[in-house]
Chains A and B, each alone.
Chain A
């Protein structure tokens, strides 16, 4: 311990001997680290947002295969993301035909629209409304804070749907309309029609995405209503691919414009095989994809964030190379001094340790300052680039990860100069004394 303190004193003396170089190293390192931590924070936040963590075994989506999309649309790499997104939806006539097969034990069509909704007697506002079957809530095991799903069956030929004027709210809408309490049994007016609340979904984990609800993040409100109400509400779905608007729900529901998602439960291989055959008979261009295979689509991080993290990492590494070079320069400049120390009995290990401590201290000091500076830097980044739905802040796990990276870099930065310095033979400079 005494030797460690002695080494530390020597290191501080060495740093004070070249204050300008030490200061320059620290400043550039601090700036690079703060930029790196900012990029890492933004990257991890958006990666977390895109994550669909839950697994849904036996749940499948029917969607157009790439070959069934317009060739130009599919091949145009400029619109790769649009094409991938467009490939999630079917036209309503196709969805109805698929529903009529009756093969899956549970199934739901689902689409999103914006409708005027609010409390009775109050001015309604436009809110996202998802039309679906109750099976959607069961397929994705949506947890309820209050009540539960309504009861209906998919629209098979001749089937009936017992529940109609009902609605399930997500936690955000329930908070907005009813202050977060148990609103089961109360009413919400949607498009002039009173719907009874039968269930309230439990709050979703912050900043994550639901596979069954691609568009809004959980921070947004949502109402879920029976698909059978679509003919009454005559909504305008979003998105609508291609973007044609016949203007009339009947025409839209009969058109080739795609806006419907079809989810089914296929619990075993035999059911899957039969359903795939039935789907192929409806349209050879359709494919049946496991829900869990959708994750890569949603797990895409926008390239700008990946590139920003890559560039700031490269800048940080370049800065560490600078530190290595400056430490080398300092070591070489003090070769004679080191030679004398060796001649007077200092071991190679002691010289190595001393030089390593100097390198580690420099990088760690710059990194620590950089991580602290990253707090306002992240806040400034969030103000400049308000691209995320929730405020961006430096979280403890990212700070810890960044610190670990910096510790590793400090060791790497210190090792080579320390080794070079410790390799100076004591006799090289004795002849010059």
Chain B
């Protein structure tokens, strides 16, 4: 093989133009394909992601105080009464009041949470504790809800998870359940239970449980799995929101009963009750993510197609330009296999150099791309996959002209035109 490299390199140097063009094309194609892999991975993850909630059996209910405002204490009484009435419906597993609908899509802003020194363990070194708090601060999506929310949303408990506990807490501290992702960001493994967190304007909370990750709100934003659920009776003057979980297959039946049940709650007649149907597949972000995945896949196929045509072109050009030399080689005893191997090797050399350039180009392009969108970091997996695909595609497309070259008869050496 090494004896063939010399003639190949000389040949490529003689026809610098086409070779350089193919190098550039391979490099650009590889850079584009690597980034397409990242984008495709991101959108595919979104398209096929699930919220982690028991969506098939969930109903979201909103009671609107349409023509009036309810005093908060009245709203609080009504919320508790509504929750009891909903939980008593035949076929309902659990019901809870929440301050925001966790699905389908809501624009909301996260909180910054910081671990507080001590908690159950008592006060620690304040200086170090403050530094630790900032280092372990995390952005989280807040949800205020009554204690039955863990059962109502169908969350899977990992540690603790007892929002209903009546153990006394210091004044102003509320119980909180956090997701696994949040616990990993803020605390050492297994160190979340019993710790206090500072939840900005939502006050201080004590972690009484860790649940498996679930997503809420706008999944296009990163880290929507970091959720903190604060035990509270979330009421407002204008509406009350509930989440109801039914037994399997009971959702439609129960949905039809809810407006009547809430209308019969003392003090609850006359309000508008909204029970929207929730179809996971109709959620906009799923549709967009699925569509984007298809568009990216199609773009990737075109990139590959262009690369195939490019390799085909160069190999064809080489064959056309060296018909006499091929004839001479055949006349001197070269077999067809030698000819095929020669052209495949030539293509491999050019493709390999192009891929090396492509690696540099990918890293250079990824710098501004990441500045534009931090989640678009190209990993080695993406780069290697793109390289392998390009290399294989290049070899495959060079095969056709190589086999055609192999069929050139030795008598071609004697022809002039």
Contact = CB atoms under 8 A, between A and B. Distances in A.
13 contacts: A72-B134, A79-B110, A245-B234, A248-B72, A311-B299, A315-B303, A318-B29, A321-B22, A325-B21, A329-B320, A332-B317, A384-B295, A433-B417
B67 A333 contact: no
A432 interface: yes
Nearest to A18: B316
Contacts of B122: none
B310 A306 contact: no
B28 A314 contact: yes
Interface stretch (B87-95, B259-267, B339-347, B372-380): B372-380
A385 B288 contact: yes
Interface string A381-404: 101111100000000000000000
Nearest to A247: B236
Nearest to B416: A432
Contacts of B258: none
A234 B238 contact: yes
Contacts of A269: none
Contact of B302 (A24, A31, A383): A31
Contacts of B67: 116, 191-192
Nearest to B134: A72
Contacts of B25: 318, 321-322
A316 to B, nearest CB: 9
Interface in A219-268: 234-236, 238-245, 247-249, 255-257
B64 A333 contact: no
A329 B317 contact: yes
Nearest to A193: B67
Contact of B75 (A192, A247, A255): A247
Which applies to chain A's interface (DSSP): helix, strand, loop or mixed? helix
B312 A24 contact: yes
A384 B43 CA distance: 13
B380 to A, nearest CB: 20
A11 interface: no
B392 interface: no
Interface string B117-158: 000000000000000001001010010100000000000000
Interface residues of B, number: 78
Interface string A8-42: 00000000000001001100100110010000000
A308 B144 CA distance: 39
Contacts of A24: 309, 312
Contacts of A25: 309
B69 interface: yes
Given A325-B22, A328-B17, A243 B108 contact: yes
A387 B66 CA distance: 31
A304 B223 contact: no
Contacts of B17: 328, 416, 420
Given A307-B372, A318-B29, A242 B314 contact: no
Given A243-B109, A307-B373, A234 B237 contact: yes
Nearest to B274: A126
B284 interface: yes
A86 interface: yes
Interface stretch (B5-13, B32-40, B175-183): B32-40
A307 B290 CA distance: 18
Contacts of A307: 35, 39, 369, 372-373, 376
B249 interface: no
Given A242-B201, A322-B306, A322-B310, A384 B416 contact: no
A303 B373 contact: yes
A249 to B, nearest CB: 6
Contacts of A429: 416-417
A21 B24 contact: no
A257 B291 contact: no
A192 B66 contact: yes
B305 interface: yes
B202 to A, nearest CB: 6
Interface string B49-92: 00000000000000010111100100100000000000000000
Contacts of A384: 290-292, 294-295
A381 B306 contact: no
Contact of A385 (B291, B306, B316, B317): B291
B222 interface: yes
B221 interface: yes
Closest A-B pairs by Cβ, 5 of them: A384-B291, A432-B416, A329-B317, A192-B67, A303-B373
Contacts of A236: 236-239
A116 B202 contact: no
Nearest to B305: A28
B200 interface: yes
Contacts of B310: 318, 321-322, 325
B103 interface: no
Interface string B381-406: 00000000000000000000000000
